[in-house]
Structure 1
Amino acid sequence: MEFPRSFICTAFIIFLGIVARWIHSRKPPSGTRLPPCPKNGLPIVGHTFQIPPFHSWFKFKAWTDELGPIVRFRIFGRENIVISSEKIANDLLRERGSIYSSREHLTMAADYLSGNLRPLLLDYSDRWRRGRKLMHRLTMTSAAASYQPMQSLESIRMLYDLLRDPDHYEVWFSRYASGLIFRIGYGKAIRTGEEVHAQRILQVVHTLERIASPGSYLVDSLTFLKYLPEWMAPFKREGRRLHDIELNLFRTLLRDVQAETEQANGEAQTLAPSFARTWLESKASFGLTEDEAAYVLGTLFEAGSGTTAAAMISFILTMVLFPQWQQAMCDELERTVGDRMPEFEDVPNLPVCRSVIKEVLRWRPVTAGGVPHQLIVDDVYNGYFFPKGTTVHANQWAIHRDPALYPDPETFNPNRWLDPSYPTYREPLSKYPCLQNFSAFGFGRRICPGMNIAENSLHLLPPRVIWACRITKKRGPDGEEITPPLYDYTTGFNTQPRPFQFHLEARSKERKAAIEDAFRKVQASDPLTSTANYKLGQSCRQ
């Protein structure tokens, strides 16, 4: 068989690139050492073939159990370390944030898909800092508090549909999360989830998760492949096509708000407040181009739409598997709010509810593998040498299973946040447990920008769901209870339980009626929706 000349040239270029990276690997300075490394690494390719294509955090955890909280591995000559201790992650990623806050450059996701505009994937640069300034303005604690009425409104819509059609729970949690961010991002409502813009932006989120997942594209490991001509590199055509789609979408969403503001003829106060309007009214102070701002706003949607929904689906799973904690939440709600719906003002008096959702995020983190950071200069920590360019993985799955901090870590146990005998206990219980700076949201300067908004959602939704609903195992045709698996989660950047069966019903006729009454009031008073335009389950019925 005779190979085409282009194939032979490509293979030779790949071989030369790998060899060059292998030859130029750094040795540690005198008095330092490299972290321990798994056995059976191969010349040139390193540990590439030992890392599974999905749920890699399990493999990293196994290495941690064998070698300790800092483990080194190599992929085609690229240095990586896995951190499996919250203290070490904070020491490096927070306390030394000025040198650990860059990103590993994912050529396909950053260059071709994102046009080097997506803040999540930007290196530690002026462009990233300008975008972060806008994100901070939009999501800081005081701003997040102003969004609480919208969170309450969307949660009522979610409860109404969850009670009427619990089989489509994923749709309702997703619509809550995306509807909230769409509302505060662009001043628009998502009524059914089938709106064109809503579907397009969710597709953008799924595309990013697919393309940015480790190992998805060879060019991310062998970056010199980007110099191949386009006819030899189909990933270039794919990335540019997808970039055009998402850039056009982000521009359209921003320009729609701009057009509405201009059409208001000086009466912009009649329009719904939004992230987009905040930027449009203060452009000069942020120093962002239109496309940079469009991507910042789109990124906030990406960060908020999938993660909150995934956390809530894991919450439902834990309520099915651990009914004793559902009862503990119910008992606390009965003592605190009785027959009225929980409100944000009740959150300080609901430590059990807060402990349950925090334990959900510990036990089943949404971004289980974390988002890798990159070191921009040589560094030494506890005698270990990390060369410039090292990719640092704060493995949330292992961090949340550190037995020194979380005794009996595989057990779902919210008591670890409530009982003074546990190392994670903090006082006062009117404030703690909370989600501020929790490792589930990342570390240091790259911590999730929407953390404050997410915390408010996750402190309101679980109490409201348990106040309104009773969740139990579903029974099969033979009358036997169906127990969902402990871990059957989707693959990708963010993960959530695959569809599972359970039974959900209203706790009482009175509470169901209260939800229906609250829904009617919301539909009548909300300027972005109306009862006439709302169709239950349109996304499911068609």
Structure 2
Amino acid sequence: MLVVWAAGLVAISWLSLKMIVLALGVGENQKPLPGPPGKLLVGNLFDIPPYHSWLKFKQWADIYGPLFQLKLGGRQLVVISTEKVANDLLRERGNFYSSRPHLPMASGILSRNMRPLLLPYNDRWRRGRKLMHQLTMQTAADSYQPVQDYESRKMLLCLIDNPHKYDKWFELYASGVVFRIGFGKWIETGEEDEVKRIIKVNHNLERVASPGAYLVDSMPFLNMIPEIFAPFKREGRKLHEEELNLFRQLQSDVRRMVDKGSETRSFTRTFIENQDTYQLSDDEGAYVVGTLFEAGSGTTAAAMMSLCLAMCHFPEWQTRMQAELDIQVGLRMPQFGDIPNLPTVRAVIKEVLRWRPVTAGGFPHELTKDDEYNGYHFKKGTIFHPNQWAIHRDATLYPDPDNFRPERWLDPKFPTTYKEPLTKYPNLQNFTCFGFGRRICPGQNIAERSLNILTARIAWACTMSRKRDASGNELPLPLYDYTKGFNTQPEHFEFDLVARSRERYEVVKESLREARANREP
């Protein structure tokens, strides 16, 4: 107990000094950054809601402007609320705005400083990023389209046959794609033990890394407490052992496949065959591939669930997509080659990502040297948080931002978002929903192909609608009832989904039968 008391006294002294420096701006002649007033020692720490904090951040942005500060214990957090500021700092000055704050629980205890998403801007991150770029660049993403084609056909039939389990089918699609290209394995049911385990790893990460989930991430001095007195340390160590054992097992399985002469390509095989080039240890490589699974599975599924919600609330856009598909595709199933001729389909899914961003709160960046912007002085170590929810509701860029309006990507009346030619735009390249600068999501090329083909095929084959009561009246359906975590999706809701015709349903069944027969082993 003496150790705990000593750690507490050190912490109070440290926090007091830090808060005095932050409050007084010792030695600085600088323009004060606005922000909500905080409390002694803890600052704004307990003003931030435990979940959906981006909604509160947006309220503060409406009061204090596109750049405002929060004080969390002894650290300064600067919240960015417009795309222009985010691009000016995180993209244009990416060489020193691309680090990550160290989160003792998520970065250190859970990930042992190996998960690329949480790594600072250092050599380990750069080596891992080189591998990720090799695996996800445009030409590589094109080569994964056969897997996406097969898995989307399977998802479509499951969705029509049992729409109540839509969330399972979207997760099965996303996991199936990433499992095949990541580890060279096909997923059949989603009930496979490895699949359940890696999805659990993903959910644990989302929970552990959520803002405010663990006090130690806001008050790092708590990490000084011995494990025997720190339940969060015991929990984090257990979760780390579980995920590392799984990553090692999956990597070992690929090594055995290679040794047996299998020609199946995968992320893990590429790493194994070029490990010396990437200069990554076995565990570092396993975490790179694991991160790509995390980035590609939950986010794609969440976006598709938001698409269903949007179509139930705004059915006119479902009708417009179906009309476009009927003209461009007819009674055959849409293919990847049709996507350039389907601007309405692309506009709808892009608007879904703007209207309900998956990573609504964004992910923090850390400044690696002192900097100035618009008269404000920022010290090295300042944390910058791009609030995606607010960024995507900037009325100067997105008029009528709270409403679902895909026409903003299609109509010249929206000059800030409309681009020509419509065979290319709208697209998702460098869209802010994937992050900013050097920390932009590496899997965006793969994600764009998945979201486009899924949206096209669902609109071609199905019609979604809100549930109705016995009198034919639409039942209530919340516009915003979303899960907790840094990746969010609508809470499960009921809606009706039917095939547009028997003929289209038979096309789906036959196309899956053919694809399964021709699938690589």
Q: What range describes the TM-score normalised by the shorter chain of this pair?
A: over 0.9
Q: Which residue number corresponds to residue 397 of structure 1?
A: 389
Q: Which residue number corresponds to residue 446 of structure 2?
A: 453
Moved more, 239-248 or 478-487: 478-487
Residue 487, structure 1, aligned to residue 484, structure 2: no
Q: Which residue number corresponds to residue 349 of structure 1?
A: 341
Q: State the distance in 2 between where 1:118 and 1:82 align.
A: 24
3-state SS of paired residue (2:497)? strand
3-state SS of paired residue (1:392)? strand
Counterpart AA for 2:35: C
The correspondence for 1:304, drawn from 296, 299, 304, is 296
Residue 387, structure 1, aligned to residue 379, structure 2: yes
3-state SS of paired residue (1:471)? strand
Q: Which residue number corresponds to residue 279 of structure 1?
A: 271
3-state SS of paired residue (1:490)? coil
What is the TM-score with the length of structure 1 in the denominator? Answer: 0.94
- The Cα offsets for residues 216-245 of structure 1, whole Å up to 9 and x where unpaired, read as 111112212222222122222211111111
Residue 38, structure 1, aligned to residue 31, structure 2: no
The correspondence for 2:323, drawn from 304, 314, 331, is 331
Paired residues in the alignment total 519
Equivalences for 1:16-35 in 2 at 5 Å? 16-25=13-22, 27=25, 32-35=30-33
Gaps of 5+ in 2: none
Q: Which residue number corresponds to residue 503 of structure 1?
A: 496
Q: State the distance in 1 between where 2:272 and 2:33 align.
A: 48
Contact 2:67 2:80 in 1 (8 A): yes
How far is the alpha carbon of 1:477 from its aligned partner? Answer: 4.1
The correspondence for 1:68, drawn from 40, 47, 65, is 65
Q: State the distance in 2 between where 1:370 and 1:504 align.
A: 32
The correspondence for 1:420, drawn from 409, 412, 426, is 412
Q: Which residue number corresponds to residue 321 of structure 1?
A: 313
Q: State the distance in 2 between where 1:107 and 1:508 align.
A: 54
Q: Which residue number corresponds to residue 370 of structure 1?
A: 362
Equivalences for 1:221-232 in 2 at 5 Å? 221-232=218-229
Residue 476, structure 1, aligned to residue 469, structure 2: yes
How far is the alpha carbon of 1:376 from its aligned partner? Answer: 1.0
Equivalences for 1:88-107 in 2 at 5 Å? 88-107=85-104
Q: State the distance in 2 between where 1:284 and 1:456 align.
A: 31
Q: State the distance in 1 between where 2:513 and 2:26 align.
A: 67
Counterpart AA for 1:36: P
How far is the alpha carbon of 1:20 from its aligned partner? Answer: 3.2
Relative distance call for 1:367 and 1:519 in structure 2 (3 A) is same
Counterpart AA for 1:474: K
Counterpart AA for 2:108: D
Contact 2:4 2:225 in 1 (8 A): no
Q: State the distance in 2 between where 1:104 and 1:479 align.
A: 53
Moved more, 214-223 or 396-405: 214-223
How far is the alpha carbon of 1:21 from its aligned partner? Answer: 2.3
What is the TM-score with the length of structure 2 in the denominator? Answer: 0.97
3-state SS of paired residue (2:96)? helix
Moved more, 195-204 or 274-283: 274-283
Counterpart AA for 1:403: A
3-state SS of paired residue (1:460)? helix
Q: State the distance in 1 between where 2:290 and 2:6 align.
A: 40
Q: Which residue number corresponds to residue 460 of structure 2?
A: 467
Percent of aligned positions with the same letter in both sequences? 56
Q: Which residue number corresponds to residue 81 of structure 1?
A: 78
Q: State the distance in 2 between where 1:21 and 1:223 align.
A: 13
How far is the alpha carbon of 1:24 from its aligned partner? Answer: 3.9
- The Cα offsets for residues 444-477 of structure 1, whole Å up to 9 and x where unpaired, read as 0000010000001111110100100011111234
The correspondence for 1:209, drawn from 206, 210, 219, is 206
- The Cα offsets for residues 294-333 of structure 1, whole Å up to 9 and x where unpaired, read as 0000000000000000000000111111010000000100
Residue 156, structure 1, aligned to residue 156, structure 2: no
The correspondence for 1:523, drawn from 505, 508, 516, is 516
Relative distance call for 1:29 and 1:95 in structure 2 (3 A) is farther
Q: Which residue number corresponds to residue 119 of structure 2?
A: 122
Q: State the distance in 2 between where 1:216 and 1:88 align.
A: 27
Q: Which residue number corresponds to residue 252 of structure 1?
A: 249
Contact 1:159 1:515 in 2 (8 A): yes
How far is the alpha carbon of 1:478 from its aligned partner? Answer: 4.7
The correspondence for 2:427, drawn from 424, 431, 434, is 434
3-state SS of paired residue (2:41)? coil
Contact 2:7 2:224 in 1 (8 A): no
3-state SS of paired residue (2:69)? strand
Q: State the distance in 2 between where 1:226 and 1:73 align.
A: 22
Q: State the distance in 1 between where 2:356 and 2:114 align.
A: 30
Counterpart AA for 1:118: R
The correspondence for 1:49, drawn from 9, 31, 46, is 46
Relative distance call for 1:364 and 1:28 in structure 2 (3 A) is farther
Moved more, 243-252 or 478-487: 478-487
- The Cα offsets for residues 364-391 of structure 1, whole Å up to 9 and x where unpaired, read as 0000000111111111001111111111
- The Cα offsets for residues 198-220 of structure 1, whole Å up to 9 and x where unpaired, read as 00000000111111111111111
Contact 2:150 2:516 in 1 (8 A): no
